[in-house]
A and B are shown apart, each in its own frame.
Chain A
Amino acid sequence: MAQIFPKWSNNFPRKLLIGSIVIGNTLVFTVWFFFAPEFLDVGYAPEQPVPFSHQLHAGQLGMDCQYCHTQVYDSKYANVPATQTCMNCHNQIKTESPALEPVRQSWETGEPIEWVRVNYLPDYAYFNHSAHVNVGVGCETCHGRMDQMEVVYQAEPLSMSWCLDCHRAPEKYVRPVEEVTTMGYTAENQLEMGRELVAKHNIHAPQYCQGCHY
């Protein structure tokens, strides 16, 4: 009687075991790494209708964030400036530049410029800029070194665990309120200063759900 199983089948269980461990681990790693906001979202840099350079305006020219994002201390939104703000300068500087054509058009027609949103939170998360910048969370802490960005990209994952890193230990991140818009700010003794600031501003970053979700 012939053998039912050929000889190679002796090794089959072993190969199957090793194979499934390898495949399983690969799968877990793939999902864990590639599906995370750190991989998917960080670095997202869509093309904008106007090639506005933060590197030039905020970096080289040293304009303060608040020159354009005027309402960040009052509102939940750090407003994208009206065309009017651009035209304050650009009705005199680079008035013929082809890159600024959409801006001039918007100014003439009254139609808005359609900027593409870069930093994106889901609908059920309510983030409030004014609640953060007024107690010393720097622009840079979430948005990265805007003064070095030729094209704006997402600098941080903006995931919930990333938010909670700061909400659980704000002293590691806060800075004096007057330094909020400073780029590249570093404190010598962040922890010590952070603790003082947390006490001074009465910071109790909510860690319960409806601090942000409602």
Chain B
Amino acid sequence: MDPDTQRTTMSTDMSTDTSTDMSNDLQHTTESDENLAPNTYWKSLGELARNKEYEDYEHREFGKEASELGDPVSRKSFLRIMGASIAMAGFAACRRPVQKILPYSRQPEDVTIGIPMHYASVFSHQDAATGILIENNEGRPSKIEGNPDHPASRGKTTLYEQAMILSMYDPDRSRGIRFNGEPSTQDDFVAAAASHFADRSRRVLFVSELSSSPTLLRLKEQALGQFPNARWVNYEPFGEANAFEGAELAFGQRLRTVNHFDRADVIVALDDDFMSPQSHKNALQNARMVTDRRKVMTTDDTMNRLYVVEGTFTSTGSYADSRKKLKASHVAPFTYALAARLFNATNASELRPFAGVNNEFLLDETLEAMVEDLVAAQGSSLVTAGYGQPTEVHAAVAAINAALGNVGTSDAAPVTYHVVDHVDGSESLASFADAIAAVNSGEFDTMVLVGTNPVFNAPSDIDVAGALDKTTVFHLADMVDETSKQATWHVNRAHSLEQWNDARSFTGAHSVVQPQILPLFDGWSEVEFLNTILSGEYTQGYNLVRDTWRSELGVRTDREWNAILHDGLRKETPGAFRAVNPRLTNGFGRAMEQAVGAAGVAGAGAASSTAPASTGSASDMELIIRPDAKLFDGRYANNGWLMELPDPMSKITWDNVALMSMKTAEKLGIPTERHLSDISAPIVKLTVEGRTIEIPAWIQPGHAEDSITVTVGYGREGIGRVADGAGTNTYPLRSTTAQYAAAVQVEVTDRDIEMACTQAQFSLEGRDMVRSTTLSDYKEHPKFATYKSVHGYEVPGIKEMEENGESDGPISLFNETYGPDYEPQWGMAIDLNACFGCGVCTIACQAENNIPVIGKKEVSRRRIMHWIRTDRYFAGDIDNPQVYHQPVPCMHCELAPCEQVCPVAATTHSDDGMNQMTYNRCIGTRYCANNCPFKVRRFNFFNYTDEYLTQGDDPEIVQMAMNPEVTVRFRGVMEKCSYCVQRVNREKITTKRETGSPKPADGTVLTACQQACPADAITFGDLTDNNSVVVQHKRTDRNYQMLEELNVRPRTSYLAMLKNPHPSLYEAPAKKH
């Protein structure tokens, strides 16, 4: 950790003093819990406790040092430099900048300069590909969208697809081949590979990332045929292995479970964060399917019911109707109890092995409600378990689904099982561990690593480094990473936007990866690398892929091939993994009885090898290890957009932390008062099986007790300017016996570390931002979301409006101006019932609008630049709160307070009803940001973009990632959400040219956030068009304006959230209807 950011806190006696004060405060809060109705919202612990430090903190507009210029130049020297640069600029301006125009020599067909092309391709996350469309400006890819025709994306994207464009333009990527760490050439590599692999008796170990690419799999077969002494294993630190093994335990074959959430009325997720891309390979479709069933427009509509049982508070958990917090190791006994109760209710033979279950969860009230709902919804319900849960839980869940009649192969079955062609057991951790052990015992002389980084991310009890030392290593990698530094040959990999390749989706649809640009650093794709090794000469990736599709997929004619490239998949026969209707094996019952027995009659023990039973009171504490929401296993660590995105739940940027509940923190003696300011965190030492790391502790309300969650992927060295030094490497805690959970010892240090958390930034001081109720309450009181229902009285100014005989809103001091009739009037509606807080809107916006990355120090000073943020509110009890997510872009107020205070009219209203920001007029007074009630304006305190673009040795590379349609902002300029005005104007011009109408048709203008949102939470359109979707949304009962009492008339409004809990799990709050 950076020594600068560490500082010792107050002296011992002082801290004792404060701690007493603080615990009193907290005590007070806990005591007044009865008064804390579930609809009391809070953003952070500090806000809940309302201590003095917090108030001090929140009453500042910007952070304490936000208006100071800090490192690396002091304010004075900065002014000097600025003075000089202004003087220089004065002289420089006398001379006209000479710009060159470089037309093509031969004009390519179909290219119109200034109109971007869109190409279809796919993005592979592990072995699951999603269809994407890439915007390409004159040969330069600049933005990724989902491919509407592709079954795994349907026009939507996750964080990873949006951010991949920045990874391609990452100047820290490896720029060439290295031999023993020294720069080498491709010719040398080809020669070396040819001579090394000429000997067919070589004992070669191939280690690959899990891939569904038909070409790679063809080369795999070729490799194993060519080298009789070779072995092939796949290694992924996080994956579906437990689910496959669970299916093997239940059905005797490794099958992929595909959950069709849209076919289920009741969903039970057992430690499964299936809506988040780091936790599930099909998260994008899962999110769409779940949210599709929750689009309530009238009181006649229904909703599905989502139960989540989990330890860590996840996005899926926050979206649940009922969430039960449970230590990860208690999920297994809970599952068995669920199976036992279902056996009692249905008498299904599949669940007989669970008849003897007797644990504390049998009479749990959540379980009670679940059983009732599941039994009522047989055939249209769904139980799912997370990848982090042990094999036995997956097997038990399979039996439950079978017993409830949810399994089938038809179009109505909520759960289907599929034979995945490329899954053969080589992807299990055991086969990887076994292979590395074999290397260490001298069984292999050569290792070929296709894109993995096991030195960094393998379990700590597997000696990968030792294995690399003993063999000749050929390693293909994006970066010169931890593994590459030990490899004999390092080959730089082409980004997936630079290569020909192919892949299959989660359900098996075949697609081709087509390049958008020549490899920036002459990298090779996986298939080119592997083919070079096998054949001893380099062949273009195109030929390799085309050969596969010709020989194995029967695509013979160019016409067919071009259609596939154009569509992004084979439209008529996409290809799917074969669905089967499996039967439970004979051994299943015995295996389950054993598992149930191991879980303990009393139930509290851990259940499997991956979650060892806890021993003794000191190690009652359990560690949960999860992939990170942004960096996954660390592969996206050098991506600035992802690094700076606030975590969906903790809202921390640039760091990973040890998450725990308030009670656990108190029990461990972590001084919680050091936590309440939300700007620093105490460092704790975590020890698992003798391996120790130091990591900041962070309180996550709603986290399970006696349990701590860490995420991986941080704490890198020598990778790149973004990844280096951010967070803590938690992989040392992981081992083959402690993959997802482990017993942990915790020791508290007296050191703190500064955190960059956006959680408590831009405080809202207890105003009503989020409105929500239950589905049943909504049916009784459809008008629950109006201002009067919430506050008990009308919006101020309404009475006067009626007295004046007006009807267009409360009276106002300011003149209302409406745009002329011929202009469209833009508006947005955000459905809180669909939003689960993933944050893809923020990244999509960042990619579209050239928003800079500013770094941890700047974020901690509350200078974050995101135009759309996702606010997260807690409601109710600190130990088991409800969470609400609320995306907040600029509201484009009709009576905008920002416009009234700008001294230079840099922010004004446009004829089409947008609050426009004119950068070239802005002089940086920041009055507008002060006067904005929603705090959506962002100020360029520094020349962020310029510094970001010009640092390093190849600034032009990062410049290429910029959207040419949007101005890159300069220091001293205010900026904010523009409703993607560049897209609006482009469409207005096109519509005008093609139809003569000044108003684009509904659905033709999509804002970047709207286009990416997997839940379709955001709708945007013309308010003068009565049939537009946005108008339909705004007409529903759930529609409300944020801060309506201010009478600023925001164009962006929200649809209130509805929850659909089981009646027995919901206590109606006192409401004023």
> Which residues of A are at the interface with B, using a C-beta cutoff of 8 A?
40-41, 44, 46, 71, 74-77, 79-85, 106-107, 109-117, 120, 122-124, 126, 128, 130-131, 134-135, 201-202, 204, 206-211, 213-214
- Asked if A204 meets B918 with Cβ closer than 8 Å, knowing A71-B113, A130-B993, A214-B978, the reply is no
In the complex, what residues of A have CB within 8 A of residue B981's CB?
210, 214
Q: A116-B98, A120-B99, A128-B989 are in contact. Are A77 and B114 (CB under 8 A)?
A: yes
Contact of B910 with A208 in the complex, beta carbons under 8 Å: yes
B101 CB contacts on chain A under 8 angstroms: 80, 114-117
B91 at the interface (CB under 8 A from A): no
B823 touches A204 (CB 8 A): yes
Is B820 in contact with chain A by the CB < 8 A criterion?
yes
Is the beta-carbon distance between A213 and B919 smaller than 8 angstroms? yes
User: Are B103 and A130 interface neighbours, CB within 8 A?
Assistant: no
Residues of B within 8 A of A107 (CB): 105
Contacts of A210 in B (CB 8 A): 910, 914, 916-918, 978, 981, 985
Bound together, the chains give a CA A98 to CA B379 distance in angstroms of: 83
Is B814 positioned at the interface, with any CB of A under 8 Å from its CB? no
Could you say which of B104, B968, B985, B998 contacts A112, with CB atoms under 8 Å apart? B104
* Residue pair B966, A214 in contact (C-beta under 8 Å): yes
Of B106, B965, B989, the residue contacting A131 (CB under 8 A) is B989
Q: Out of A85, A126, A202, A214, which one reaches B996, CB within 8 Å?
A: A202
| Known contacts A75-B114, A83-B106, A115-B100; is-contact A130 B989 (Cβ 8 Å) | yes
A201 partner residues in chain B, CB cutoff 8 A: 996
Interchain CB contact under 8 A, A208 and B911: yes
Interface residue ranges, B against A (CB under 8 Å): 96-107, 112-115, 820, 822-823, 908-911, 914, 916-921, 965-968, 978, 981-982, 985, 989, 992-993, 996-998
Please give the distance in Å from B323's CB to the nearest CB on chain A.
Answer: 42
A110-B106 in contact given A77-B114, A120-B99 (Cβ < 8 Å): yes
- Give the chain B neighbours of A124 by CB distance below 8 A: 919-920, 967
Would you mind naming 13 contact pairs between A and B with Cβ atoms under 8 Å apart?
A75-B112, A83-B106, A84-B104, A113-B102, A114-B102, A116-B101, A122-B920, A126-B965, A128-B985, A134-B992, A208-B910, A208-B911, A213-B919
**B998: which A residues are within 8 A, CB to CB?**
202, 204
CA distance A85 to B101 in the complex (A): 16
With a cutoff of 8 Å between Cβ atoms, the chain B residues found around residue A44 in the complex are 96
Please give me the 4 A-B residue pairs with the lowest Cβ-Cβ distance, nearest first: A75-B114, A82-B107, A112-B102, A117-B99
Residues of B contacting A109 with CB < 8 Å? 105
Main secondary structure of the interface of B (DSSP, over half): loop
With the chains together, A165 CA to B832 CA distance in Å?
46
A204 CB contacts on chain B under 8 angstroms: 820, 822-823, 998
| Nearest opposing residue in chain B for A83, CB measure | B105
Q: How far is the CA of A117 from the CA of B254 in the complex (A)?
A: 64
Output the residue of B908, B917, B920 with the most chain A CB within 10 A: B920
On chain A, the residues within 8 Å of B985 by CB distance are 126, 128, 210-211, 214
Q: How far is the CB of B413 from chain A (nearest CB, A)?
A: 49
Closest partner residue, chain A, to B916 (CB atom)? A210
In the complex the two chains form, is B113's CB within 8 Å of A123's CB? no
Residue of B nearest to A108 (CB): B105
How far is B994's CA from A131's CA once the two chains are assembled, in angstroms? 11
Since A77-B113, A214-B981 are in contact, a sample of 9 more A-B pairs with Cβ atoms closer than 8 Å, ordered by chain A residue number, is A74-B112, A83-B104, A113-B102, A117-B100, A117-B101, A201-B996, A204-B820, A204-B998, A213-B920
| A82–B103 CB distance below 8 A | yes
- The distance in angstroms between the C-alpha atoms of A106 and B920, with both chains bound, is 39
Residue numbers in A under 8 Å from B966 (CB-CB): 214
Minimal beta-carbon separation of B484 from chain A (angstroms): 36
Q: How far is the CA of A123 from the CA of B998 in the complex (A)?
A: 26
Query: How far apart are the CA atoms of A76 and B989 in the complex, in Å?
Result: 10
Cβ contact within 8 Å between B107 and A85: yes
Q: B967 contacts which chain A residues (CB < 8 A)?
A: 123-124, 213-214
Tell me if A110 and B105 are in contact (CB < 8 A). yes
Q: In the complex, what residues of A have CB within 8 A of residue B911's CB? A: 206-208
Residues in B with CB closer than 8 Å to A120 are 96-97, 99
Contact yes or no, A202 B997, CB < 8 A: yes
Judge whether B107 and A116 touch: CB under 8 Å: no
Q: Which residue of B lies closest to A46 (CB)?
A: B98
A80 CB, nearest partner CB in chain B, Å? 4
* Residues of chain B lying within 8 A (CB to CB) of residue A112: 102-105
Specify which of A71, A82, A113, A202 is in contact with B114 (CB 8 Å cutoff). Answer: A71
User: What residue of chain A has the Cβ atom nearest to residue B968's Cβ?
Assistant: A123
List residues of chain A with CB within 8 A of the CB of B112: 71, 74-75, 79
Q: Bound complex: CA of A111 vs CA of B989, how far in Å?
A: 33
A84 touches B96 (CB 8 A): no
The CA of A111 and the CA of B103, in the complex, are separated in Å by 9
For residue A43, give the distance in angstroms from its CB to the closest CB of chain B. Answer: 12
A85 to B993, CA, bound (A): 26
A213 and B106 contact, CB distance less than 8 A: no
Other-chain residue from A41, A111, A122, A209 in contact with B105 (beta carbon distance below 8 A): A111
By a CB distance below 8 angstroms, the chain B residues around A82 are 103-107
Q: How far is the CA of A77 from the CA of B823 in the complex (A)?
A: 25
Contacts of A130 in B (CB 8 A): 989, 993
Contact B105 A106 (CB under 8 A): yes
Provide the residues of chain B in CB contact with A117, threshold 8 Å.
Answer: 98-101
Shortest CB–CB separation between residue A210 and chain B, in angstroms? 4
Q: Please, how many angstroms separate the alpha-carbon atoms of A209 and B105 in the complex?
A: 37
CA distance A44 to B99 in the complex (A): 13
Residue of A nearest to B822 (CB): A204
- Cα A204 to Cα B992 in complex, Å, equals 11
Residue of B nearest to A201 (CB): B996
* Least distance between B376 CB and chain A CB atoms (Å): 54
Most buried by A among B103, B965, B978, B985: B103
Nearest-neighbour CB distance to chain A for B131, whole angstroms, equals: 28
Docked complex Cα distance between A115 and B102 (Å): 6
Q: Which residues of A contact B106 (CB under 8 A)?
A: 82-84, 110
Distance (Å) between the CB of B221 and the closest chain A CB? 41
Complex CA–CA separation, A83 to B107 (angstroms):
8
Complex: A111 Cα to B106 Cα, angstroms: 9
Smallest CB–CB gap between B24 and chain A, Å?
53
Q: How far is the CB of B928 from chain A (nearest CB, A)?
A: 14
**A44 vs B914: C-alpha distance in the bound complex, in angstroms?**
37
Tell me if B107 and A84 are in contact (CB < 8 A).
Answer: yes
* Nearest CB of chain B from residue A5's CB, rounded to whole Å: 39
CB distance from A137 to the nearest CB of B (A): 13
A94 to chain B, nearest CB (A): 19
- A59 to chain B: closest CB distance in Å? 22
How long is the Cα–Cα vector from A82 to B103 in the complex, in angstroms? 5
Cα-based distance from A130 to B996 in the complex (angstroms): 13
* A76: B residues at CB distance < 8 A: 114-115
Contacts of B978 in A (CB 8 A): 210, 214
Alpha-carbon distance between A120 and B820 when the two chains are bound, in angstroms: 32
Contact present for A202 and B105 (CB under 8 Å) = no
| Distance, CA A81 to CA B104, complexed state (A) | 8
A115-B113 contact in complex given A130-B993, A208-B910, A213-B920, C-beta closer than 8 Å: no
CB distance from B309 to the nearest CB of A (A): 47
CA distance A206 to B912 in the complex (A): 10
- Report the Cα distance A28→B908, complex, angstroms: 30
- Complex CA distance for A71 and B104, rounded to whole angstroms: 14
